[in-house]
A = this chain, B = another copy of it.
Amino acid sequence: MSRPLSVGVAGLGTVGVGVLRLLRDNADVIGARAGRPVAVTAVSARNRTRDRGVALGGLRWFEDPLALAADPAVDVVVEVIGGAEGAARALVEAALSHGKPVVTANKSLIAVHGAELAAAAERHGAALGFEAAVAGGIPVIKTLREGLAGNRIARVAGILNGTCNYILSAMREERREFAEVLAEAQRLGYAEADPTLDIDGIDTAHKLAILAALAFGRPVAFEDVHIEGIRRVSALDIAFAGELGYRIKLLGIARRSDGGIAARVHPAMVPAGAALARVDGVTNAVVAEGDFVGRVVLEGAGAGAGPTASAIVADLIDLARGRLTPVWGAAAAELTPAPSAPMLQHVGCYYLRLMVVDRPGVIADVTAVLRDLGVSLESMLQRGRAPGEAVPVVLVTHETGEAAMRAALARIAALEAVLEEPVLIRIEPG
């Protein structure tokens, strides 16, 4: 057996410790599959004394991650510090500039700086693995970049954030409101103390930007992703969705069309029988649609120390075996400069829910606005009667352009009988 692959791990949080544990616990199978031992020899973290539940004896310790990257005895750097800037970015740039391969779980870094990092990796001939950055241990990066590489991908969509999916699942199952379920998720450790990145859709957008770049073979373009989170999803809308045969999911969706590549993150109504509708709790799932392969669905745990470590180690085994792939699936010169399609060009069906005063003529006013803007209705649902009081009205449209829909929404919101800001949820095939 050849020389061991010497791994330096920067960051000893739960994921870093998970990598150490996995490489030790499964050293035999990993060595067999990698063709050589894969072992952590150096680590970097600030607090040297904290008990992390894993033996660190015999490992070289660097307080400065850049020193770890510079250590000639380290063959590959595992970056699990996190964050798009600061120490993580500096470390990855430094390692690549030394021609040293990097494996990272850092979705924001890859989504935001992936184009420059790919250029650096190509320039210095160093690999950059990031299977762990999207959907935990589910091999979605490998599937898009290698497994489906013969296909033109038309669409990739997924449930990419376990926190949001847990919250939406619990809201539906327990008929509870967002704020209450979020608080519970925070108590249970499924949501961060500051949940912004998750519930405002930013984490999903990071992952979607990565998937879209791989699926369509173009440089990553995080700044072009349209992002809406789940704060405004209510138990009422989840109940209406159920009545209409849908589930509400926070989806990341990227689609290629003549107008370019549209990438968007927003709550979506998905038919209850669709693959993505049935994915509940913290599970992640990705659907890819290729011209020859058809629809492929991948599902599994999207986060956690074990699944994330599994993805990082898969990248390390690829490196140990010398299985190399350009960061975005093709050399920079071979990527397509396909433009991003703006959200206002989106066409789809919409769910619109209003709270209106229950009195004659209100529906006529609302539907007149829709008619004037060329929005045609598929169905309307009005529940309960309470003359003079607020009642919900649900409208489902046929295919409509986003621009017309937004114009209609503004006019409807301005009607005197419309009491709250209208809720708009896009309908997706799932």
Contact = CB atoms under 8 A, between A and B. Distances in A.
Interface string A137-154: 111001101111111100
Interface residues of A, number: 64
Contacts of A97: none
A11 interface: no
Contacts of A322: 322, 324
Nearest to A290: B310
Contacts of A147: 131, 139, 142-143, 314
Nearest to A31: B334
A307 B330 contact: no
Contacts of A296: 137-139, 298-300
A291 interface: yes
Interface stretch (A22-30, A40-48, A420-428): A22-30
Given A290-B137, A292-B137, A150 B307 contact: no
A297 interface: yes
Given A309-B292, A323-B325, A151 B299 contact: no
Contacts of A299: 275, 296-299
Max chain B Cβ within 10 angstroms of own Cβ: one of A150, A311, A331 = A150
Interface in A182-213: none
A99 interface: no
A236 to B, nearest CB: 26
A271 interface: no
A150 B143 CA distance: 17
A116 interface: no
Nearest to A135: B296
Interface string A315-341: 011100111111001110011000000
Given A29-B217, A32-B330, A35-B330, A292 B307 contact: yes
Contacts of A23: 150
A310 B294 CA distance: 9
Contact of A217 (B32, B139, B311, B314): B32
Contacts of A35: 326, 330-331
A385 B326 CA distance: 69
Given A22-B150, A146-B323, A217-B33, A295 B300 contact: yes
A294 B325 CA distance: 26
A139 to B, nearest CB: 3
B26 A151 contact: yes
A-B CB proximity, top 9 nearest: A139-B147, A150-B313, A137-B293, A32-B334, A32-B330, A293-B310, A296-B300, A323-B323, A292-B306
Given A26-B292, A137-B292, A151-B310, 7 more contacts: A23-B150, A30-B150, A32-B329, A148-B314, A278-B278, A292-B306, A298-B298
28 contacts: A23-B150, A29-B149, A29-B151, A29-B152, A30-B150, A32-B217, A32-B329, A32-B334, A33-B217, A35-B326, A131-B147, A136-B293, A137-B292, A137-B293, A137-B296, A142-B142, A142-B143, A143-B143, A150-B310, A292-B306, A293-B300, A293-B301, A293-B307, A293-B310, A294-B300, A294-B307, A296-B300, A321-B324
Interface of A: 18, 22-23, 25-26, 29-35, 131, 136-139, 142-143, 145-152, 217, 275, 278, 290-301, 304, 306-307, 309-311, 313-314, 316-318, 321-326, 329-331, 334-335
